[in-house]
Homo-oligomer: A and B are copies of this chain.
Amino acid sequence: MATDPKILDSVRCKEIGRSCACYNLRRAARATTRLYDDFLRPSGLRSTQYSMLMVARLRGPVTLTKLAEMTVTERTTLTRNLTILEKKGLIVIEPGKDRRERQVSITELGLEVLIAAVPLWEAAQAHIEQGLGGDRMDSLLKGLSEIISRSCDR
């Protein structure tokens, strides 16, 4: 494994495409995001927005920090992503008892939009599952879960 770093032979180079977890996860994320975005388009939601709305519906009201942990997103990223949803009237962000905190909740409108988007999400999901098969899908999701744990554990 510990070869001379001065030698950058093609065997070494090919690793990026064949074995790099980051590169391949990013490629897969781009590919699936485009697919889901495409299916979700009639709803006006992007993939990220759909999942954020769904988490808000399931776990809300919830603080920014909790939401960031759940979604493995930087708090500051979340702030900006949620601002977009708030401007659309799909969520509200209110101060909690602890006045440092911000509680995120889905609105009536947000719920309506979300409900309308569910069948679109199901279609995208079905497209993927039919291509992979349920078993491989499950083991893939399990692998993703493990790699998230491992990446966050430092």
Question: Hey, which bits of chain A sit against chain B, CB under 8 A?
Answer: 1, 5-6, 8, 10, 12-36, 38, 47-48, 51, 54-55, 57-58, 70-73, 111, 114-116, 118-119, 121-122, 124-128, 131-132, 136-137, 139-141, 143-154
Contact status A22-B47, CB under 8 Å? yes
Q: How far is the CA of A124 from the CA of B12 in the complex (A)?
A: 15
Which residue among A8, A136, A147 has the maximum number of chain B CB atoms within 10 Å of its CB?
Answer: A147
**Contact A151 B35, CB 8 Å, known A25-B25, A115-B6, A141-B24:** yes
**Contact A28 B31, CB 8 Å, known A17-B55, A54-B13, A143-B139:** no
Contact status B21-A32, CB under 8 Å? yes
Main secondary structure, interface of A, reads: helix
Taking the nearest CB of chain B, how far is it from the CB of A141, in angstroms? 6
Taking the nearest CB of chain B, how far is it from the CB of A29, in angstroms? 4
Q: How far is the CA of A131 from the CA of B145 in the complex (A)?
A: 12
